[in-house]
Amino acid sequence: MKEARNVLRVDSLSEEDRKAYFRYMDSLSLSESVLWSSRVLGFDEGEKIGHKKGLEEGRAEGRAEGRAEGRAEGRAEGIAEGEKLGIEKGEKQAKLAIARTLKAMGKMTLEQIAEATQLTIADLTLI
């Protein structure tokens, strides 16, 4: 109904005013179209920028997490390896101390001390 009233009003305009009205309506339509196109292009561009930024942030976060995990794993492996080496070194020092005591007692041969302590003859000659 409202549209019919608008048509009647336009029909009652002079030729010059009617042309001016249609030019105005065309410019409104064009403006809306430009605005809509700009909005769509802006959304597309914004989506691309957001996607790129999201990828960059995701990669950075992934790298940081990877580094943290790598450090934690490396630290754990280093501690385990250090404990193993420390135990081995402590066991060897204990065996050498026992070998020194046995050698000082003078009751066993180097071969017997080597067998008892699981040290080599070369190790025993150094003490």
Q: What is the pLDDT of residue 10?
A: 76
Overall size of the chain counted in residues: 127
Domain residue extents for the chain: 2-125
pLDDT, tens digit, 9 for 90 and up, residues 8-63: 687 888 999 888 898 989 888 888 988 888 888 888 898 999 999 999 999 999 99
Query: Which three-class secondary structure string do you get for the chain?
Result: CHHHHHHHHHHCCCHHHHHHHHHHHHHHHHHHHHHHHHHHHHHHHHHHHHHHHHHHHHHHHHHHHHHHHHHHHHHHHHHHHHHHHHHHHHHHHHHHHHHHHHHHHCCCCHHHHHHHHCCCHHHHHCC
pTM for the predicted model, two decimal places:
0.47
